[in-house]
Amino acid sequence: MSALASVFDPAGRDHRDPVMRMLEAASHRAPGGSRVWVGERVALGRRGRSDDASPPLVHPTTQHAIVFDGRIDNTDELSAALGLGPHVHDDELVLAAYERWGESAPARLLGDFAFAVWDASARQLFCARDVFGQRPLFYAAARGIVAIGSEPQQLLAHPLVPARINEGVVAEHLAGMPVSVGETVWSDVARLPPAHTLIASDGGVRVSRYWQFDPDADLACSSEGEYVEAFTDVFRTAVRCRVRGASRGVGVFLSGGLDSSAVAAAAERLHREEMSPEVRAYSLTYPGRPCDESPYIDAVVDRWSLPSMRLRAAAPPRARIEEEVARYRDLPAYPNGSSLDPLRASAAADLDVVLTGYGGDEWFTGSPLSAADLIREGRVVAAARQMWDDGTRRGGGWARGVLLRQVAAPLVPETLKPLARAIAGAAPPAVDWIAPAFAARVGLHERLRRSARSPYRTAVQREVDAITSSALQVIGDELEERAAAFAGIEQRQPFTDRRVAAFGFALPDAQRRRGNETKVILRRAFAADLPEIVRGRRDKAEFSDIFVDAIEQLGGRRFYEQLRTADAGWVDPAAALAHHDRLRALYRDRDGAYIAIAGALWAIAAVELWFRHTQGASS
């Protein structure tokens, strides 16, 4: 991992010292040395993991310069296209790609990356982020400059970037439903969305999307065997790319679920057949709780004779959460994510790279909205059968809403959906813990109903795109990357490989789900490599217990009796306390309704802890 920092200033002022301060603000991310290059109108900085970190790369002829964080996976293909020799560093490759293809270069790159290129001839700063946002990039356009950084607090370290609170985004987080991908809790700090580029020039800032799924892609497979073979090939390639450079071996965060188990099996098979790095499993256990997946972990570890290290899961203590808030000047991670921190630290003591199973749900689970697509195709009987299967699998209460959600809503043309909502009197989700006056002032209702027009034809395609490009998804991935960087380890996710995702996006729904079976192709592809107890598993563990534990770590009811966010007029204190009391009663009775309330109370707590830090108070 690296920390990037850059400043573009049309006035030509020297920003070497501010960029050094920005890099220092991310010292936890990359504890090595910082290097800054200053050119006309620009300063580029990079902080590496070692004291001999390389400086920003500058082309000797064009004077184009680059700072790069990440990993490029299609190096051989790019090197051949660019006429470069073997063993070219990733930053050299990306700079050469930009010099050849200009703004279209990022679409040709496979891997996880964020970078900034100074184009000396065009006098512009060009930045890009990988298609699923596996490497972060933020920017601020303030007081005549454009600043770029790997993390938000770096931008606030520049003296020209003000620390003004974005109350609209704060309200979204209080509601537990962040929807604004490009905004952050700071008004002058923006997020560069995944699959986007940014150009800063004398004319201002321009942000553009450079890649999206091909809605008409055809996998050209004629049998189930061909689909399985094609998936196996693309998934194996994704895993192979992600174990590259793992000189101390590779870890796998093995939860016992189908996705992480598939990653572990694929990595170990590569190790045995291609002498790729040794694989070790790292797992959390939840003894005595319904979410404990130890039997599934045992089965995978035994099947492949994997070295295995396990820790008992626990909610993070309050002091650690407050340290996180202070370090990033941002909201803390969700408890189910931060509970992995001790496991990350243990893995980092052994190795540099760990694989995860994140992303498998998005591409391969299948969507109930395919019923709408079946009806559009005239396949009414198949649609009815699917809705019946969904209803029986999820229960009668869910089945009553199947018709409206699966069929009626997706069939309404995009241009008529605002009118349909108005006629139906669509109400926002109940968020009664947010003070009504605050919600009205920031337009929370309108924010939560906001949606972008989709370029995709089918309901399933639109849903997959909406999920994978949502603020909740992007922020979740950033929190994972942030925690891994702090631990000194690189998390790599084979399911977020662009080739795997594009394969899943183009996959016929019958290869995703049949009746009550989901992830059909994944189960078929790993028929020989996963124990039946894992391969045939239909349930998913639910980890909201850890949210309840985290709330108690903060002080339980007493914490919600002393809310600074209530004093600020953001939170209704009586409603917050009522929700806490209801949570305790529901959790005691193991009533599943506690899950949503635990999420709401954590949303309040996360904003509260961040707000206290902004006000200079920690108690």
| Residue at 90 is within a domain | yes
Residues 209/182, Cβ–Cβ less than 8 Å: no
Q: Mean pLDDT across the stretch 128-143? A: 98
Same domain? 192 vs 244: no
Same domain? 247 vs 304: yes
Q: Mean pLDDT across the stretch 486-498? A: 97
CATH code of 228's domain = 3.40.50.620
| Residue at 451 is within a domain | no
Same domain? 103 vs 129: yes
For every residue of 457-501, DSSP letters joined together read SSHHHHHHHHHHTSHHHHHHHHHHHHHHHHHT-EEE-GGG-HHHH
| Residue at 350 is within a domain | yes
pLDDT, residue 426, reads: 45
Each residue of 360-372: pLDDT tens digit? 998 998 877 777 7
| Residue at 359 is within a domain | yes
pLDDT, residue 281, reads: 99
pLDDT, residue 412, reads: 54
State how far the Cα of 539 lies from the Cα of 414, in Å rounded to an integer. 34
Task: Decide if pLDDT at 612 tops 50.
Answer: yes
State how far the Cα of 589 lies from the Cα of 584, in Å rounded to an integer. 9
Same domain? 196 vs 229: no
CATH code of 48's domain = 3.60.20.10
Average pLDDT, rounded, for the chain? 92
Task: Decide if pLDDT at 388 tops 80.
Answer: no
Each residue of 28-59: pLDDT tens digit? 998 888 999 999 999 999 999 875 567 799 99
Each residue of 172-213: pLDDT tens digit? 999 999 999 999 999 999 999 999 999 999 999 999 999 999
State how far the Cα of 439 lies from the Cα of 445, in Å rounded to an integer. 7
User: Quick one: what percent of the chain has pLDDT higher than 90?
Assistant: 79
Per-residue confidence band for 537, with pLDDT thresholds at 50, 70 and 90: very high
Same domain? 315 vs 344: yes
| Residue at 564 is within a domain | no
DSSP code of residue 354: E
Per-residue confidence band for 315, with pLDDT thresholds at 50, 70 and 90: very high
Same domain? 187 vs 270: no
How many of the other CB atoms lie within 10 Å of CB of 325?
Answer: 21
Per-residue confidence band for 86, with pLDDT thresholds at 50, 70 and 90: confident
Q: Mean pLDDT across the stretch 69-84? A: 96
Residues 4/135, Cβ–Cβ less than 8 Å: no
pLDDT, residue 409, reads: 56
Same domain? 199 vs 255: no
Task: Decide if pLDDT at 323 tops 50.
Answer: yes
Could you tell me the residue range of the domain that residue 506 belongs to? 224-363+489-535
Same domain? 283 vs 340: yes
Same domain? 340 vs 316: yes
* Total domains, the chain: 2
State how far the Cα of 75 lies from the Cα of 134, in Å rounded to an integer. 18
User: Quick one: what percent of the chain has pLDDT higher than 70?
Assistant: 92
Q: Mean pLDDT across the stretch 560-587? A: 98
Global pTM reads 0.93
Each residue of 452-476: pLDDT tens digit? 777 888 888 888 888 889 999 999 9
Per-residue confidence band for 374, with pLDDT thresholds at 50, 70 and 90: confident
pLDDT, residue 392, reads: 62
Same domain? 8 vs 117: yes
Determine which helix (DSSP H) or strand (DSSP E) holds 242, and give its type and residue range.
helix 224-243
For every residue of 276-337, DSSP letters joined together read PPPEEEEEEE-TTSTT--HHHHHHHHHHHT--EEEEE--PPPHHHHHHHHHHHTSPPPPHHH
Task: Decide if pLDDT at 397 tops 70.
Answer: no
Q: Mean pLDDT across the stretch 315-337? A: 97
| Residue at 567 is within a domain | no
Q: Residue 3 in 3-state DSSP?
A: strand
Per-residue confidence band for 423, with pLDDT thresholds at 50, 70 and 90: very low
pLDDT, residue 421, reads: 47
Task: Decide if pLDDT at 575 tops 60.
Answer: yes
Q: Which of 72, 445, 477 is nearest to 244 (CA)?
A: 72
Same domain? 198 vs 238: no
pLDDT, residue 618, reads: 42
Note every long-range contact of 204-207, with CB atoms under 8 Å and residues 24 or more positions apart, other chains counting.
204/141, 205/139, 205/141, 205/146, 207/182
Same domain? 29 vs 161: yes
| Residue at 612 is within a domain | no
How many of the other CB atoms lie within 10 Å of CB of 356?
Answer: 24
The last residue of one of the domains, among 520, 535, 550, is 535
| Residue at 75 is within a domain | yes
Name, in order, each residue with C-beta under 8 angstroms of 589's C-beta and a sequence gap of 6 or more.
Answer: none
Each residue of 278-290: pLDDT tens digit? 999 999 999 999 9
